[in-house]
Amino acid sequence: MTWKVEVMFDSLIRSGFRRAGLLASGWWALTEGSSAWTFGVPVIFLALVSSFLINPSGYKPLRGLPRFLGFFLLHSLLGGIDVARRALHPRMPLAPEVVDYPLRLHDQAACVLLVNTVNLLPGTVVAELEVHRLRVHVLDHRLPVFESLRTVEEKVADLFALSLNEAGNTPHA
């Protein structure tokens, strides 16, 4: 029994050093290498404690990160162009609606990333996150909204190396 505790403690220590290193690197990049460490160290410490409160087990390696970033950047660009086109069009071709999307993800950290990703993609904003459902406001419900949300959810699941559970219902607007 003590061997398992030692292994878990060792894993937590390594995870803490890894997280602290990432947070310190992020702080250094944000401050452009300045000497703002008197403020930065407490901020990094609070972020480190928060990261353990949010996800004590640590994240799995994000091997799919380059694919996810490529997907996100491309869709952000295409979505931004679409929103700009609609805003500048004389008739403003909009058909806003709030849709309910049944979630297949059940990992909390993955759901948070999914919500943030959907919010950052132009033309969509998550109005509500429930355990098994997203309520999303879309600019044009005539577009393939559910297919797009499904694709984003699959990309997030792939990033976290998670399997998706099939939702019980078919999405309805």
| H, E, C per residue of 28-80 | HHHCCCCCCHHHHHHHHHHHHHHHHHHCCCCCCCCCCHHHHHHHHHHHHHHHH
Instruction: Give the contacts of 16 (CB within 8 A, at least 6 positions apart).
Output: 48, 52
Instruction: Give the contacts of 40 (CB within 8 A, at least 6 positions apart).
Output: 24, 27, 31
148 near 71, Cβ under 8 Å?
no
Question: Mind listing the pLDDT tens digit for each residue in 35-73?
Answer: 778 888 898 899 888 877 766 665 555 667 788 888 889
The average pLDDT across 70-89 equals 87
> Measured between alpha carbons, how far is 149 from 128 in angstroms, rounded to an integer?
14
Query: How is the chain split into domains, by residue range?
Result: 2-54, 65-159
Instruction: Give the contacts of 54 (CB within 8 A, at least 6 positions apart).
Output: 108, 109
The average pLDDT across 145-154 equals 92
Q: Provide the sign of the torsion angle of the four alpha carbons 69, 70, 75, 77, taken in this order.
A: positive
Quick check: 125 pLDDT over 50? yes
> Measured between alpha carbons, how far is 45 from 27 in angstroms, rounded to an integer?
11
The average pLDDT across 147-151 equals 92
> Residue 131, SS3?
coil
Residue matched to tokens 């505790």: 5
pTM for the full predicted model: 0.64
> Measured between alpha carbons, how far is 75 from 43 in angstroms, rounded to an integer?
33
Residue matched to tokens 């398992």: 4
